[in-house]
Structure 1
Amino acid sequence: MVKVLFICHGNICRSTMAEFVMKELVRRAGLQDQIMVASAACHRDELGSDTHPGTKAQLRKKGIPFTPRRARLITPQDYETYDLIIGMDNENMRDLRRLTKGDPDRKTCLLLDCAGEHREVTDPWYTDNFSATYDDVLKGCRALLQHIRQNKKAPLA
């Protein structure tokens, strides 16, 4: 079983969107018994909050199923539990390096690195552009799924 954890600042917009998009891609590929997907926050701002309404609206528009959930904070134990930990922006990556003591097992990367684009997934909390965020998340998740199918738990970088 390959375990994937998506990370963003508050775990209500980008990482949650990536979690549900990836779960749907995994379901469509018939790989639910091989890939587990979850998400978490780097910061406490939104702990306990459900998915942002803008994220829900975009997922609904694209036909991606989602369920009620509560934002949670990443823990040091998550580094042991998950095989791949995917951040959305450079701040997330700094937080992950600090939490993981430099990522010695090379488990972390930016989502769009998976698609060969070293850039951030823009936070719709600030831009209100959930459509653009969805496009980036979908691109990154498709590439990540392809990587997992080809390489299983191999590091991304």
Structure 2
Amino acid sequence: MKKIVFVCLGNICRSPMAEFVMKSLTDDYVIESRATSSWEHGNPIHERTQEIFKSHEIPYDSSKTSQQISKNDFEYFDYIIGMDESNLLDLIRMCPKSQKHKIEAFASESVPDPWYTGDFDETYDRVLTGCKAWLTRLENEAKNG
């Protein structure tokens, strides 16, 4: 079973949104989320992200808290997916050389951080579109071996 981790700066908005949206679309993969920074370590999912989950009826773990990506995560996960260009650069800097091939962009365009933009609906729309694209990619890879 492929293991996927979505990564953003704080792990309270975008990456948990991607984690639980993806989990709502499939249960064929291990799916988690992490932060590149320790700024929000131990904090819960942002309340506006939780509101998005509720309004779109997306099941989520209300006890989830922010967790920074670790050396073990780089080894454990098959796909390490950065939500924006800055996250990707941080991941490349943090990642052991032997695991760098696992790092990928969530989408061709960065997903704006709603912590700064305040637009959680736009973030949700982009996350949903991106998760569907990732699911299609993963299914095609599984089919084509």
Where does structure 1 differ by over 2 angstroms across 4 or more consecutive aligned residues? 101-105
Query: What SS does the corresponding residue of 1:80 show, helix, strand or coil?
Result: helix
Note if contact 2:114-2:120 (Cα within 8 Å) is conserved in structure 1. Answer: yes
Considering only aligned residues, what root-mean-square deviation do their CA atoms show, in Å?
1.5
Q: Counterpart of 1:63?
A: 57
Query: What SS does the corresponding residue of 1:106 show, helix, strand or coil?
Result: helix
Structure 1 gap segments, 5+ residues each: 27-31, 113-117
Query: What SS does the corresponding residue of 1:64 show, helix, strand or coil?
Result: coil
Task: Tell me the CA shift for residue 101 of structure 1.
Answer: 3.9
Which one-letter code corresponds to 2:116 in the other structure?
Y
Q: Counterpart of 1:25?
A: 25
Which one-letter code corresponds to 2:135 in the other structure?
L
TM-score w.r.t. the length of structure 2 is 0.93
Note if contact 2:52-2:120 (Cα within 8 Å) is conserved in structure 1. Answer: yes
Task: Tell me the CA shift for residue 22 of structure 1.
Answer: 0.4
Note if contact 1:40-1:74 (Cα within 8 Å) is conserved in structure 2. Answer: yes
Note if contact 2:82-2:104 (Cα within 8 Å) is conserved in structure 1. Answer: yes
Note if contact 1:97-1:103 (Cα within 8 Å) is conserved in structure 2. Answer: no
Q: Measure, in 1, the Cα distance between the counterparts of 2:22 and 2:97.
A: 26
Which one-letter code corresponds to 1:129 in the other structure?
D
Note if contact 2:74-2:99 (Cα within 8 Å) is conserved in structure 1. Answer: no
Q: Counterpart of 1:150?
A: 140
Q: Which moved more, 1:101-110 or 1:63-72?
A: 101-110
Q: Counterpart of 1:92?
A: 87
How many residues align structurally?
Answer: 142
TM-score w.r.t. the length of structure 1 is 0.86
Q: Measure, in 2, the Cα distance between the counterparts of 1:103 and 1:143.
A: 27
- Pairs within 5 Å for 1:93-108: 93-101=88-96, 104=99, 106-108=101-103
Q: Counterpart of 1:138?
A: 128
Q: What are the superposed Cα offsets for residues 67-102 of structure 1, whole Å, 9 maximum, x if unpaired?
A: 121110101111110000111111110111011145
